[in-house]
Structure 1
């Protein structure tokens, strides 16, 4: 009898405890962690390289230029009679352009919004290598160590660079922009001819243009950094490099000393700007993925 009472009491206590436990509040699972999707921004420093094609953008069409040499001129070897040197009028300004750029952009509102920036670049160019072709009166040849150079043609250009502002609008990873600012360049009044290299001629001016740029997503197969930091662009620029007035009557130089050999009769003064356009493609790495 006592044993039955004990078993009954134990069963009742167990049932009561189970019922009480069932009434207790359950421990809920923790809420999921919300991870916001990063919004791309063009803000940040970048650096890259570019390559393209440059060509003459001026409206000038120079005609042939004739230099008359007196009888017995020390510039030529031939009969003791007057002779002529005839320079062609073609500027022959076109060729490869390539170099690098660095810059900084600031986007006012990430995602889509206005973008401002500044960029500097330095470019190699291959211009006007055939500019100094000439014809000499039959029976005459240049004297030893003498090279004839075109006194009115456009100078060749070895390199140029720009420092420009940029203003554009971005739709997420696509940026359309305009650009403009300071330009500089250096070349030679006498392009390579017979081993002679003319004096450098540094000049400054301005440039303007525009382009479109696209930032690759991290999973793009073209994104070799595997980060949202690689951009591709296509850009066009017009460059105008002013030249100062100066005496330009030199039409022959000594290929050994580099000194002018003679001045053409009647010193010619000019102030012709060097105008050309550049169409190029480039790639940049933007520091900071977003």
Structure 2
């Protein structure tokens, strides 16, 4: 778990580097300044795409993911602290060996620190997903529930649009799948690194 989290945070840093560079360029006059958002308050919707990897049934499934997110932020006037709640749903191509993840979703709280265009945040909450186990032609799927923790960074492009990078560690616990030799208890835990855009209302 520790190795996966460190690898995920390293990937998040790589994804966030262009965002930081854009912020520094704008600060030093190398790029035009678009209108700043008055705050991070309000509802938003967006889309994301990324990569997931993990372990299940003795294998290491991995693959692309992508989907949608929606949430709400609250920032008190004059405060750099941003509180929020977010839900997302990703279609998943994470697969390997006998196990695959068909979809993955979360419902999370967020708390972050805002500095003008830049927001960094920690996040955690409920995770759910559908796993599929297939051996010698016998295939069955189960929906599992667990938890997730992660962190991210978001950059306001203008008053409404923002871009972000995010890392999540996901543990879906164990579910019982059918097999030719009887019921099999299989758990999935893994990591997700993804980038996305949001439109704030």
TM-score by length of 1: 0.53
> 2:68 maps to what in 1?
100
Structure 1, unaligned stretches of length 5 or more? 1-36, 63-90, 133-154, 218-227, 252-262
Pair 1:277-2:191 in alignment: yes
**Stretches (4+) displaced over 3 A:** 267-270
> 2:27 maps to what in 1?
none
Question: Are 1:40 and 1:173, in contact at CA under 8 Å, matched by a contact in 2?
Answer: no
Shift of residue 269, structure 1, vs aligned partner: 5.2
> 1:125 maps to what in 2?
92
Instruction: Provide the aligned length of Structure 1 versus Structure 2.
Output: 167
Shift of residue 184, structure 1, vs aligned partner: 0.4
Q: Give distance in 1, aligned partners of 2:77 and 2:200.
A: 18
Structure 2, unaligned stretches of length 5 or more? 1-34
> 1:238 maps to what in 2?
169
3-state SS in 2 of match to 1:198: strand
Give CA-to-partner distance per residue, 1:227-271, whole Å, 9 cap, x none.
x11000000000000114x475x23xxxxxxxxxxx3xxx5653x
> 2:48 maps to what in 1?
50
Give CA-to-partner distance per residue, 1:148-187, whole Å, 9 cap, x none.
xxxxxxx311001000000011011110100000000013
Question: Are 1:92 and 1:127, in contact at CA under 8 Å, matched by a contact in 2?
Answer: no
Question: Are 2:37 and 2:156, in contact at CA under 8 Å, matched by a contact in 1?
Answer: no
Q: Give distance in 2, aligned partners of 1:127 and 1:38.
A: 38
Q: Give distance in 2, aligned partners of 1:247 and 1:99.
A: 26
Q: Which protein has the bigger helix share?
A: 2
3-state SS in 1 of match to 2:77: coil
The answer to which structure, 1 or 2, has the higher relative contact order (CA under 8 A, 6+ apart) is 2
Shift of residue 53, structure 1, vs aligned partner: 0.7
Root mean square deviation of aligned Cα:
2.5
Q: Give distance in 1, aligned partners of 2:70 and 2:36.
A: 25
Q: Report 1:1-290 matches (<5 A).
A: 40-56=38-54, 58=55, 62=58, 91-110=59-78, 113-129=80-96, 131-132=97-98, 155-190=99-134, 198-217=139-158, 228-244=159-175, 246=176, 250-251=179-180, 263=181, 267=182, 270=185, 272-287=186-201
Q: Give distance in 2, aligned partners of 1:48 and 1:241.
A: 24
